[in-house]
Amino acid sequence: MTHDVHIIGGGLAGSEAAWQLAQRGAKVRISEMRGGGDMTPAHQTDGLAELVCSNSFRSDDDERNAVGLLHHELRRLDSIIMAAGEDARVPAGSAMAVDRDAFSANVERILMEHPNVTVVRERVDALPESGLTIVATGPLTAASLAESIVAATGQDRLAFFDAIAPIVHRESIDMDICWFQSRWDKGDGKDYINCPMTKDQYLAFHQGLLDGDKTEFKEWESNTPYFEGCMPIEVMASRGVDTLRFGPMKPVGLDNPRDTTPEFPQGRWPHAVVQLRQDNKLGTLWNMVGFQTKLKHGAQVELFRTIPGLENAEFARLGGLHRNTFLNSPLVLDRQMRLKSAPHIRFAGQITGCEGYVESATVGLLTGLMAAADLADRPWEAPPATSAMGALLSHITGDAEAETYQPMNVNFGLFPPLHDVKKKQRKEAYTNRAKDDFGKWLSRMELAPA
């Protein structure tokens, strides 16, 4: 099949871009190096749209939450990522979490069956010199292609570290110590497994994080900052003894059913709590929420088995650390995600500096729509900056300062402010304005699926 658009990378962004183009009649070639003899430091399979970190798409509440609003907008544009995620959904309170293997299989099956999509297992070592192209190789772009990108942009890559959380076999968790509960009983009320800690247990664990044997950085990794939204737990611990208790180990909203025992003199809530979230539909695998880590594997097993209820934990996957790279997008990309020095090439996904699964898919979706407009010789109008998609796109393509550009999740801080609305009503006002403006944009652009 000859193609209209070449997509390099079969992750969430590349898969979403391919779907949007194919649904609009464009012939698409996806080049994915995994499965062709190459692998990244973080991936475990060659499946399209593999989730390499958490299995959560975060909040699915589209009423007063920016990421939930982004879910809403993705669904309105017939997102393959949201549809495949819904079919692979597992309980996670008010969040949307998926069985990662089922999710990837869903995306791959849908794309492989589409008559307008061809998937080729091959590594691309240089940016194409011609033809509409979308580069969605993610934050783990192969070295040869990364060098080609640097040569084309004239700017060195920015880089940060991203860490992966461990996954525990459910049957190895001691439920005589742990209990099921969502914070403040949200969702079904029992979507998380909670491991309680006394003050002494927490202080010993905190010290263990500081003292544990950690992955050593290579020379090329020196002076590379962490992304604040995916901070290794031992780095958080180094910021203060109570930092974790106000972060991933916060106990508030979790009523320990054993809180009357002498081990828990604090009263209603434990001193600290480790939460685990279901990772697959069968409920056999649970990931340790917020426990991204760069501890060496032996140190992880030793320390994490000191957590009450995890004394005999068996790990399906231990945590890890990898280096992520991304473009200084406000400097090198135009408002349509095109490389200023080579406008036939667009970039999508995490390589642009967005952070998060749904954000990556969103940028892929938008670049797919932009390329489809090019093919149809139709004018392109960006989604309104008052929408979640528009706010994220504005941040990437120019609203952020190039000198201080950092990866960003979607949040209401990216939206045009509503100073005349009271603070308690502001999130709802942002949401109502976004839904109204986004709906009008869909109608003008005739983008809503039939």
If DSSP codes are grouped into helix, strand and coil, which group holds residue 11? Answer: coil
Q: Please check whether residue 441 lies inside any domain of the structure.
A: yes
- In a shared domain, residues 172 and 81: no
Residue 240, φ and ψ in degrees, nearest 5: 150, 150
Q: Please check whether residue 351 lies inside any domain of the structure.
A: yes
- In a shared domain, residues 341 and 310: no
How many residues does the structure list for the chain? 450
- In a shared domain, residues 137 and 271: no
C-beta of residue 208 within 8 angstroms of C-beta of residue 197: no
Domain end call among 323, 339, 356: 323
- In a shared domain, residues 284 and 356: no
- In a shared domain, residues 79 and 13: yes
Domain end call among 296, 323, 350: 323
Q: Please check whether residue 438 lies inside any domain of the structure.
A: yes
Q: Please check whether residue 450 lies inside any domain of the structure.
A: no
Q: How many domains does the chain have?
A: 2
What does the alpha-carbon distance between residue 326 and residue 358 come to, in Å, rounded to a whole number?
Answer: 17
- In a shared domain, residues 169 and 250: yes
- In a shared domain, residues 275 and 331: no
Give me the domain span that covers residue 42: 5-157+327-445
pLDDT at position 374, please? 97
- In a shared domain, residues 405 and 282: no
pLDDT at position 140, please? 81
Domain end call among 277, 298, 323: 323
What is the pTM assigned to this prediction? 0.83
What does the alpha-carbon distance between residue 159 and residue 136 come to, in Å, rounded to a whole number?
Answer: 16
Q: Which residues are annotated as a binding site?
A: 9-14
Q: Which residues are annotated as a binding site for FAD?
A: 9-14
- In a shared domain, residues 233 and 370: no
Helices (H), 212-340: 233-237, 297-304, 329-332
Task: Give the number of other Cβ atoms within 10 Å of residue 152's Cβ.
Answer: 16
Q: Please check whether residue 364 lies inside any domain of the structure.
A: yes
- In a shared domain, residues 216 and 333: no
Looking at residue 193, which CATH number applies to its domain? 2.40.30.260
Query: What's the distance, CA 112 to chain centroid?
Result: 24
- In a shared domain, residues 338 and 392: yes
- In a shared domain, residues 79 and 196: no
pLDDT at position 285, please? 87
**Per-residue tens of pLDDT for the chain, all 450 residues:** 589 999 999 999 999 999 999 999 999 999 999 988 887 777 788 899 999 888 999 999 887 899 999 999 999 999 999 999 999 999 999 999 999 999 999 999 999 999 999 999 999 999 999 999 999 998 888 889 989 999 998 877 667 777 788 999 999 999 999 999 998 888 777 899 999 999 999 999 999 999 999 887 665 556 677 777 778 999 999 999 999 999 999 999 998 887 655 555 445 689 999 999 998 888 888 999 999 998 999 999 999 999 999 999 999 889 887 777 889 999 999 999 999 999 999 999 999 989 899 999 999 999 999 999 999 999 999 999 999 999 999 999 987 777 778 788 899 989 988 889 888 898 999 999 999 999 999 999 988 664
